[in-house]
Amino acid sequence: ETGVTQTPRHLVMGMTNKKSLKCEQHLGHNAMYWYKQSAKKPLELMFVYSLEERVENNSVPSRFSPECPNSSHLFLHLHTLQPEDSALYLCASSQFPRTGNNEQFFGPGTRLTVL
Amino acid sequence: RKEVEQDPGPFNVPEGATVAFNCTYSNSASQSFFWYRQDCRKEPKLLMSVYSSGNEDGRFTAQLNRASQYISLLIRDSKLSDSATYLCVVNPRGPQGSSNTGKLIFGQGTTLQVKP
- Comparing C-alpha atoms, which of B109, B108, B90, B101 is closest to residue B29? B90
pLDDT at B68: 93
Instruction: Specify the pLDDT at position A100.
Output: 65
Question: Do B100 and A31 lie within an 8 Å CB cutoff?
Answer: no
* Cα distances (Å, whole numbers) of residue B11 to B3, B18, B76, B114: 22, 11, 14, 8
pLDDT digits (tens, 9 = 90+) for A23-46: 999 999 989 999 999 987 889 999
Give the range among A2-11, B22-31, B79-88 with minimum mean pLDDT: B22-31
Q: Is the pLDDT of residue A101 over 70?
A: no
Contact: A90, B105; criterion CB under 8 Å? no
Among candidates B34, B99, B103 on the partner chain, residue whose Cβ is nearest the Cβ of A103? B34
Higher pLDDT, A1 or B106: B106
Give one DSSP letter per residue of B27-59, joined into a string. Answer: -TT--EEEEEEE-TTS-EEEEEEE-TT-EEETT
Average of pLDDT values for B22-32? 88
Task: Assess whether pLDDT exceeds 90 at residue A61.
Answer: yes
- pLDDT in the model for residue B51: 86
Give CA–CA dist A112/B68, Å, rounded: 39
